Amino acid sequence: MNRLYNFCAGPAALPEAVLFKAQNELLDWQQRGLSVMEMSHRSAEFVSIAETAEADLRELMGISEDYAVLFLQGGATQQFSAVPLNLLNGKSRANYVNTGQWSKKAIQEAGRYCDVNVVASSENDHFSSIPAFNSWEVDEEAAYLHYTPNETIGGVEFFWTPEVSMPLVADMSSTILSRPIEVDKFGVIYAGAQKNIGPSGLTIVIVRKDLLGHAESMTPAMLNYQVHADAGSMSNTPPAYGWYMAGLVFQWIKQAGGLTAIAEMNQRKANKLYHFIDTNDFYANPVELASRSSMNVPFTLADDALDKAFLTQSEAAGLLNLKGHRSVGGMRASIYNAVSEDAVDALLAFMADFAQRNG
């Protein structure tokens, strides 16, 4: 076995301890004679896996009983439709903040269901900053406000929470569980699992219970939060194995000391990487200092003709998936929870060496 350092934006690295545990339990989960993949989702065994995972997530994030926690399929992208269908509640307008490629996709999809009020956009700035809150043009009558706390592609992250009078909706796919947040400030939080939670195929939705029960009448049952909340996310077959894997990841985070400890580690990793980029003329990161993502770090080389060599050589050095998103080019290192400080150190050593040889 030869596991390399993986900087993929998603599906992303998983904690090795979690993979070992899953391997150990793969064929025969806790002496029940079958794997989790082969269990009825209604069985006592799977229900205990599901309930433990939910309880651990609630404990880690401090999610109160005022919220339902849903374990769904369809990815974060499906939530781009589910959010307006569940939250418009008879209104025809919703507020959206446009800070990058994922915001844009959410806006585009919401446009099928309502009039989208783009309260602020950093598109003219090539999505390298977050528009100051006092410049936002929030429609106070709109049903909700949606934003993307971490733009996975542009590497732009909010380190503050917008204070608005309507339900706040956040696509936290690439920032959830990276640090503590105040769940009570949000109406809906959703996240595809494949960045910081587990394998792809699972999507977590955390929804304030007073927002349930108002879905548009034509909402497909599978997009209706109330249907899933009433059925404990088992209205149909849930993404059972992903749910189990997420549960193992939650236990791993608890053992690591919870979100405060995880956040400290993430901050150290990100600081090291940005400090290196800022102090080495060969590399650059375009994002304004206050909004640099602690999870996704895009960077460019002094000469993009060297991009190919960088990627070939970094891969040969055991550093996988550093290619930037096709829409922005350059490089991107995603340093989610499961990417160790050792991985970041190995990346920095390679970057220093590459710059010296090519600078």
Ligand X SMILES: *Cc1c(COP(=O)(O)O)cnc(C)c1O
List residues binding ligand X (CB under 6 A): 10, 75-77, 102, 148, 152, 171, 173-174, 192, 195
Alpha carbon separation from 52 to 56, 246, 248, 281, 313 (Å, rounded) = 6, 10, 10, 49, 43
Q: How far is the CB of 151 from ligand X (least distance, A)?
A: 7
If the CB atoms of residues 39 and 84 are measured against ligand X, the closer one turns out to be 84
Residue 61: CB minimum distance to ligand X, A:
17
Least Cβ distance, residue 192 to ligand X (angstroms):
3
Residue among 122 and 173 whose Cβ is closer to ligand X: 173
Rounded CA-CA distance 299/284 in Å is: 5
Tokens of 14: 């998983």
Does the annotation count 104 as an active-site position?
no
Strand 188-192 and strand 168-171: pairing? parallel
Q: Choose between 173 and 294: whose C-beta lies nearer to ligand X.
A: 173
Output phi, psi for 284, to 5 deg: -145, 150
Between residues 127 and 283, which has the closer beta carbon with respect to ligand X? 127
Catalytic residue (one of 29, 56, 102, 323): 102
Tokens of 262: 């995880």
The DSSP annotation for 134-146 comes to: GG----TTSS-EE
Catalytic residue flag (residue 115): no
DSSP state of 82: H
Q: What are phi and psi of 187, to 5 degrees?
A: -85, -50
Which residue(s) pair with 72 in the sheet? Answer: 203
When the beta carbons of 199 and 282 are compared against ligand X, the nearer one is 199
Instruction: Give me the catalytic one of 104, 195, 269, 323.
Output: 195
Give start and end residues of each alpha helix (H) in the chain: 16-25, 44-61, 75-87, 101-110, 225-230, 240-255, 258-279, 307-316, 341-358
Q: Closest distance between ligand X and the C-beta of residue 155, in Å? A: 11
Is 281 labeled as catalytic in the residue annotation?
no
Give the Å distances, CA to CA, from 24 to 43, 54, 247, 248, 309: 21, 22, 15, 12, 39
- The number of C-alpha atoms within 13 Å of 256 and in the hemisphere containing its C-beta is 25
**Least distance (Å) between residue 325 CB and ligand X:** 10
Q: Which of 29, 104, 171, 323 is catalytic?
A: 171
Beta carbon of residue 188, minimum distance to ligand X (angstroms, whole number): 14
Task: Name which of 102 and 144 has its Cβ closer to ligand X.
Answer: 102
Pick the closest to residue 92 from 112, 114, 119 (CA basis): 114
Catalogue the active-site residues.
102, 171, 195
